[in-house]
A and B are shown apart, each in its own frame.
Chain A
């Protein structure tokens, strides 16, 4: 029988199917960070249990770490007392239980979803979980990867398994090649606009089509990363030579074991005749640069489109639209190009990889940030990305333009560290969520690509990237 890639991965990892349709699924890789793990480790202690399989776990602090650390910084240097306790707690838990960690002083530290793949901890065909919804990122490697809650973090630590229900299969075909100035971020935002933030609920989305086949691993990661913003906790793409080349370059396997792995990896794609519960095809050539106007990622429009008004939406959507417009302070604006921006954030697990930084640097090279921009920051996704960017001179391009060049972490994507918006500040952000207060109490977030965010920095407002 023909099966989808998701079905293959599911079947491969099935330990036990139960009558109730809930199954026990084996987990190959478990990423941990400081925010969603302390209560799980406490649960293990309470039950007097040890982690089931130490080598499946890898930890790093990312969510609340300051990004202006400089040299000789350690966990004790964190000024925010509660954040410091949380980072020290991760140190303590990793030490006590014997879990490997790239701690805050290590040069490999970074956002888990950036750090994992670049160190080879993410390999095709794995089941991967983390107490973070953007774990779907790793699906770009032909993995079954998803975010879990803290009770499940404890469950995976204790049993190496998850008790879950199988998802339905959805296929999204991205066909054709994008116009100049249109990136993977625009493509995934466009999808979310089309199907809504609940469009993929209950489904694993496989991204395919000629666009995906030609896309880099970085672009595929950006798209799988935001599957959760379309409601799907699992997003994935087939393994091909692009995947295998990336993994071989980043993991430290070699010899016979690598050959054996590669042979298996090559089989990780949906069968030609596989049936999906839902299929959508999108012509990528017609997509324009996308920017969000509201407080949900589905509130997205073309960069030069008129902002929707009450009369444009169905009755039941009116209330949400009005609340969002009022929160975002759009009363005077006809299009997003009429807005004046205050801050720029280039970073997050969606867009902080080397390709993203190159895109942004290209747009600001030799230019200066506009007078209305209070602060523009670039936060590389990991120590390795930072090192690579510096080797290419990107840090100097950003600094010469007036950007601040920071240390790795989640930063202003969620404002858990000191990188926050002040009330009513408007931010051009390469992150993934424009929820109310996400980047700081009463802050206003517009999601866009790194290229568009960089252009917004130098022009002070949204402009045509083509």
Chain B
């Protein structure tokens, strides 16, 4: 994996910034790329039925400038993806073309959501992030990411190792689906459920009388 790095020199970029709530009204899983960082990327207020071409763009914003408009790697700082659990944030990054986000830390729910959608979140130490920011500004750079070696490289000269759980990485490498994997354990789940129903019967078939059937 190799791509141009777009830099976002801010802490705490929340999922409302990555994709505002307006676009969460979609019932689809794709088509969010035009709305990525909507509040920063455009000067007008958008709607779900608008495309990037219909909008007034903020030309100061990094993703509206070449070569960043085709970036595949996002570099930022602390706590990226904090806030709302909306997976739409990852769908928007993916649909725009981002393959990896490099940061010093991530929101827990966002981090999990990434692996379900082949976007790799890479956690690095703060001094490594500082070093990358110095390299990536003001002129653009490309970063190469080796998933097998868990290594990030700039121009063959600088190399940084990163940690990621193998089981999570496998999902990205082999595009695995969790539901298929878990259903292989269906017998185990059934057995657990039967003993639970015996031990904690009040948790089963509860309904409030007010409910409309």
Chain A residues at the B interface, C-beta cutoff of 8 Å: 15-16, 18, 20-22, 24, 26, 28, 35-36, 38-39, 42-43, 47, 49, 52-53, 55, 63-64, 80, 82-83, 85-86, 89, 100, 102-103, 106-108, 119-121, 123, 125-126, 131-133, 146-152, 154-155, 158-161, 163-165, 197-198, 201-202, 228, 231-233, 251-253, 257-258, 260-261, 264, 296, 298, 316-317, 319-320, 323, 414-416, 433, 435-438, 441-442
Beta-carbon contact of A133 and B83 below 8 Å = yes
Complex alpha-carbon distance, A242 and B103, angstroms: 42
Provided the pairs A126-B203, A160-B193 are in contact, do residues A133 and B109 lie with their beta carbons within 8 angstroms? yes
A321, chain B: closest CB distance, angstroms: 10
Q: Are A436 and B211 in contact (CB under 8 A)?
A: no
Of residues 110 to 134 in B, which have CB atoms within 8 Å of A's CB atoms?
112-113, 116-117
How many pairs of residues, A versus B, come closer than 8 Å at their CB atoms? Answer: 215
Contacts of B82 in A (CB 8 A): 197-198, 231
Interface status of B29 (Cβ within 8 A of chain A): yes
Q: A36-B86, A55-B206 are in contact. Are A86 and B211 (CB under 8 A)?
A: no
The answer on a CB contact under 8 Å between A39 and B202 is: no
Distance between Cα atoms of A43 and B165 in the complex (Å):
26
Contact A155 B179 (CB under 8 A): yes
Please, how many angstroms separate the alpha-carbon atoms of A198 and B166 in the complex? 24
Which residues of B does A touch, CB under 8 Å?
Answer: 9-12, 14, 16-17, 20-22, 24-29, 39, 45, 48-49, 77-79, 82-88, 90, 105-109, 112-113, 116-117, 165-168, 178-183, 185-186, 188-189, 192-193, 196, 200-213
Q: A123-B203, A416-B22, A435-B83 are in contact. Are A108 and B211 (CB under 8 A)?
A: yes
CA distance A83 to B182 in the complex (A): 33
Contact at A149–B83, with CB atoms within 8 Å? Answer: no
Query: A24 contacts B189, CB within 8 Å?
Result: yes
Most buried by B among A49, A154, A438: A438
Contact between B206 and A24, CB atoms less than 8 A apart:
no
Residues of B within 8 A of A35 (CB): 24-25, 86
From B11, B24, B185, B202, A16 is in contact (CB under 8 Å) with B185
Which B residues are CB-close (under 8 A) to A80? 25
Contacts of A107 in B (CB 8 A): 210
Question: Is the pair A36, B189 in contact by a Cβ cutoff of 8 Å?
Answer: no
| Distance A92 CA – B47 CA, assembled complex (angstroms) | 24
Q: Given A42-B29, A163-B181, A416-B24, list of 6 further CB < 8 A pairs?
A: A24-B188, A120-B206, A163-B178, A416-B25, A437-B17, A437-B20
A-B CB contact pairs (8 Å), 9 listed:
A15-B188, A15-B189, A15-B192, A26-B192, A52-B189, A53-B193, A119-B208, A123-B202, A163-B181
Contact: A83 with B208, CB < 8 Å?
A: no
Tell me the smallest distance from the CB of A172 to a CB of chain B, in Å.
17
Q: Nearest Cβ in chain B — how far from A196, in angstroms? A: 8
> Does the CB pair A22–B211 fall under 8 Å?
no
The answer to whether A64 and B25 touch across the interface, beta carbons within 8 angstroms, is: yes
A15 touching B185, Cβ below 8 Å = yes
Q: Across chains A and B, which 4 residue pairs bring their CB atoms closest together, nearest first?
A: A20-B167, A151-B116, A149-B87, A38-B27
Cross-chain contact B185 with A151 (CB below 8 angstroms): no
Q: How far is the CA of A35 from the CA of B15 in the complex (A)?
A: 15
B208 touching A121, Cβ below 8 Å: yes
**CB distance A106 to B16 under 8 Å?**
no
